[in-house]
Amino acid sequence: MRFIQVGVGGFGHVWVRVLKESAAAKVVGLVDVSEAALEKACAAGGYDRAICFASLEEALKKVTADAVVTSTPPAFHKHDVVTALKAGLHVISEKPMSDTMDVCQDMLHAAIRARRTYAVSQNYRYSPPMWTMSHIIRSGTLGAVGQVKLDFFMGVDFGGGFRHEMPFPVIIDMSIHHFDLIRFITGLDAVSVQGGAWNPPWSNYKGDCSSTALFEMNNGARALYNASWCAKGTFCDWNGNWQIECEKGTVIYEKGEIRILHVPELYAWKKTEIVRHLPLKKTAQHHVLDDFIRAVRAGRRPKTDALDNIRSVGMVFATVEAMKTGRRVPVLGARLRTRVKGR
Ligand SMILES: NC(=O)c1ccc[n+]([C@@H]2O[C@H](COP(=O)([O-])OP(=O)(O)OC[C@H]3O[C@@H](n4cnc5c(N)ncnc54)[C@H](O)[C@@H]3O)[C@@H](O)[C@H]2O)c1
């Protein structure tokens, strides 16, 4: 499959490598507004400068492609995705779909109208521990999920860039991974959210960088999410620390280790089991790309296409709304819920 990659600097270097390493992908165009980023991407991938362009429109005029991967900052995703879809191409975009819910909805509708595949890269699903936890919970051996606690605490200085300028930086740029994981691991969807956000005095982010959110899931369970990028002290890894409590026990994840506390009856703990991670042939972006190419070829939906992802990104923007208003907010509006129901 022939790809144009838009946004090759920053995290885009991961996609330069992943596309290069895929036997099923061929890069026919690289797009970036930065000459230096294009230079570096050409060196990393062994590409000729002739396939470099300053805009997607220019690339589309000069090369023939089947799909676009975009790794520009979130505010540019709509342009890249809609331009590619209108040109008849399939698309993978980096998360989050965009930086407002209205724009995400426009992008979803553009994909439906174009009858092309639009997948969002939710690479956190495809790491052995998250894959394993999803398998444990979805197998049903521990019974129904009743409550989830996910704590994400890190002190991270990106040294400037869009994250330090945007409102609710953790929730809009990072928590999409965690919210998508809550859905992926539990197999549940969020119905509504309440929450609050604040900015500690030492934070070097403009937006509120610490937050707490409480989701009601569609089986009545609650998921409590606490997160900060300006934490001082002990940090978790990028997946966060998890406690998923089910009818017959609890799954705990911390820094790569998964434990099951078997509690088959009421509160009486029976034993603790350390769980070995399930093997995963392709991880992270490699998995996203492989699933995308197979899905396009087979005419099926990729696992994290826009119709699925709107339920995760919907959690993000409902959380933002809850934090702004102090109210309990539905995760998808009634019209959008009807649109995606059963799809
Ligand atoms: N999946 C993950 O684990 C993960 C990790 C980090 C970043 N990301 C995502 O990747 C995306 C990019 O983040 P980043 O940290 O690389 O940002 P960045 O600002 O460091 O880099 C973005 C690149 O896009 C280029 N660019 C900016 N505007 C452009 C435009 N209009 N057209 C073409 N190129 C343009 C920039 O020159 C730069 O090379 C974001 O959506 C971010 O959330 C994902």
Q: Output the six-digit token pair for 19.
A: 């596309």
> Which pLDDT band, with edges at 50, 70 and 90, does 89 fall under?
very high
How do beta strands 222-228 and 249-254 pair? unpaired
- pLDDT bin (cut points 50, 70, 90) of residue 336 is confident
User: Which atom of ligand 1 is closest in space to residue 72's alpha carbon?
Assistant: 24
- Checking if the pLDDT of 214 tops 80, the result is yes
What number does the ligand 1 atom closest to the CA of 122 have? 1
pLDDT at 339 over 90: no
Q: How far is the CA of 93 from the centre of ligand 1 (A)?
A: 10
φ, ψ of residue 254 to 5 degrees: the values are -150, 120
* Pocket lining: 9 vs ligand 1, CB cutoff 6 Å: yes
pLDDT at 7 over 90: yes
226 CA from centroid of ligand 1 (Å): 25
Q: Is the CB of 283 under 6 A from ligand 1?
A: no
Please indicate whether residue 161, judged by its CB atom, sits closer than 6 Å to ligand 1.
Answer: yes
Question: In the numeric block, which tokens belong to residue 219?
Answer: 């089986």
CA torsion sign for 172, 173, 176, 178 is negative
d(CA 339, CA 47): 42
Position 213 pLDDT exceeds 90: yes
> Which whole number is the average pLDDT over 172-195?
97
Total-model pTM: 0.96
Reading the block at residue 144, the tokens are 């129904």
Average of per-residue pLDDT across 122-129: 98
Indicate whether residue 59 lines ligand 1 (CB < 6 A): no
Instruction: Determine which residue's CA is closest to atom 5 belonging to ligand 1.
Output: 11
Q: Please indicate whether residue 29, judged by its CB atom, sits closer than 6 Å to ligand 1.
A: no
Compute the distance between CA of residue 91 and CA of residue 80 in angstroms, rounded to an integer: 9
Give the separation between CA 46 and CA 288, rounded to whole angstroms.
Answer: 23
* Binding site membership of 158 for ligand 1 (Cβ less than 6 Å): no
Q: Is 10 in the pocket of ligand 1 (CB under 6 A)?
A: yes
Element (H, E) at 134: helix 128-139
Q: Assess whether the C-beta atom of 34 lies below 6 angstroms from ligand 1.
A: yes
The pick from 94, 163, 304 for probing ligand 1's pocket by mutation, whose C-beta has the most ligand atoms within 8 angstroms, reads 94
Of all atoms in ligand 1, which is nearest to the CA of residue 9?
A: 39
Summarize the confidence of residues 150-179 as an average pLDDT: 95
Mean local confidence (pLDDT), 116-141: 98
Q: Which 3 state secondary structure label does DSSP give 339? A: helix
Does the CB atom of residue 76 touch ligand 1 within 6 A?
A: yes
Q: Which atom of ligand 1 is nearest to the CA of 74?
A: 41
**Mean pLDDT for all residues in the chain:** 96
**Residue 260 phi/psi, 5° resolution?**
-110, 125
The atom of ligand 1 lying closest to the CA of 158 is 15
pLDDT score, position 334: 66
List CB contacts of 147: < 8 A, sequence separation 6 or more.
Answer: 221, 222, 223, 224, 245
The pLDDT confidence band at residue 167, using thresholds 50, 70 and 90, is: very high
Residue 279: DSSP 8-state: P
Strands in 67-70's sheet, in edge-to-edge order, are 52-53, 26-31, 2-6, 67-70, 90-94, 118-121
Q: What's the pLDDT score for residue 253? A: 98
Mean pLDDT in residue range 130-159: 98
Task: Tell which residue, 308, 315, 307, has the closest CA to residue 331.
Answer: 315
Does position 158 have pLDDT exceeding 90, yes or no?
yes
Half-sphere exposure for 124 (CA within 13 Å, toward CB): 21
Q: Give distance in angstroms: CA of 206 to centre of ligand 1.
A: 19
